Amino acid sequence: MALKSFIDVHPDSHFPIQNLPYGVFKSEPGTEPRPGVAIGDYVLDLSAVASAGLFDGPYLGNSDCFNQPNLNKFMELGRPAWKEARATLQKLLSAAEPTLRDNASLREKALLPMGKVQMLLPIAIGDYTDFFASKHHAKNCGLMFRGPENAINPNWFHLPIAYHGRASSIVISGTDIIRPRGQGHPTPNNPPYFGPSRKLDFELEMAAIVGSGNELGKPVDVNEAADHIFGLVLMNDWSARDIQAWEYVPLGPFLGKSFGTTVSPWIVTLDALEQFASDAPEQSPSPLPYLAEKESKNYDISLQVSIVPAGQEDANVVTRSNFKHLYWTITQQLAHHTINGCNLRPGDLLGTGTISGPEPDSYGCLLELTWNGQKPLSLNGITRTFLEDGDEVILSGCCKGDGYTVGFGECSGKIIPSPP
């Protein structure tokens, strides 16, 4: 029989007792940020639970990790503490447990309506790396810019390609994105274009949150990498395609990517996702030994992107993809990141890169969906090749269980004009 909470949770809710994702919130302006978990339409205030002495296990009993403005201290404690917290919270919120259910005073302090809180970035992000882990996305980009004879560079099949992104411009869902300005390819006999990006795009991604890190000079074994990943969030790594195309040779993305990256507020743990694990795609050629996993797995997470065009109210679904399409797994990504001795730290963010599926309606960005502007999309009669000012992009993702849904909520942002 499925675990049930004493809190009424709609079957379509992304936040049943089987999920319990972590976030950070303010109950009202001027209050201190504090950690919470989502349950149905409520946020459970973990500082209130801790103050009531209900985290009494060996890892959390004497810790102040839930009296912090972010989740970094909790994540640094490692997987045994994460499991202890999950077991405590599932018991506390279960239908058969009276501790919170029958304590009206504690319920009033600890359970806050989700619609009345402000969600914040849940972690302090020291570093951000963006991978290029989808074979379908890599192939489509190669076909567009290099042709079929060299669609995917040979090195791509041997290592998870990535670049170092900009942590300072990562923002929480709901934050407006200012259209970036920069240089673009010159036309014949003219200097480079300078001005607002003419090819602004979304990228359907997810990101792994590093929990416990590793020491400088000590790589993480690929078969132990999952113990260093706290969970996943939705991520939109906004891209200015025209700026990126002019600048990226020889050192890679810079201003075309660093102006904004949006993440969802709730971190869904790997423990919550474990029941939705699926086999990763076969890798050919076989990866080098340091990337060879005893069990190579992805997760069956259905992903969707909708656009609300400027001046409209209705959202238009433009793509449906799935996390399981990734060629390189998140554990391979983390192991490769550390193989040179690089030290990861709690709160580091590892983006997957655009998650595209094999079919045109599963491509993960407008660059692919419109084939670099050659095939405009129709959104209820409104045409788009790239994003216009006022357009809102909404990412969502979830896993379907037996009578419940484990989801990530939404990751949204609206484009506003460049300053004059």
**Residues belonging to the active site:** 137
Contact by Cβ (8 Å): 59, 74: no
Distance CA 217, CA 267 (A): 28
Q: Are 146 and 94 in contact (CB under 8 A)?
A: no
Helix or strand (DSSP H, E) at 192 = none
Token pair of 262 as six digits:
């949006």
d(CA 352, CA 125): 16
Two tokens, residue 222: 């690929």
Q: Distance between CA atoms of 402 and 18, rounded to whole angstroms?
A: 11
Cα distance between residue 385 and residue 20, in whole Å: 38
Between the CA of residue 358 and those of 9, 286, 324, what are the distances in Å? 35, 21, 12
Amino acid at 118: Q
With vertex at residue 290, the alpha carbon angle to CA 285 and CA 294, rounded to the nearest 5 degrees, is: 80
Sign of CA dihedral 123, 129, 130, 132: negative
* 229 SS3 class: strand
Q: Look at the block and give the residue holding tokens 């992104």.
A: 165
DSSP letter at 167 equals: G
Q: Which residue has the tokens 């890892």?
A: 59
Give CA–CA dist 298/371, Å, rounded.
27
CA 416 to CA 388: how far, in whole Å? 9
| Nearest residue to 229 (alpha-carbon basis) of 89, 330, 115 | 330
Alpha carbon 59 to its chain's center: 27
- Our CA dihedral for 76, 79, 83, 86, rounded to 10 degrees, sits at 40
Q: Which helix (H) or strand (E) holds 343?
A: none
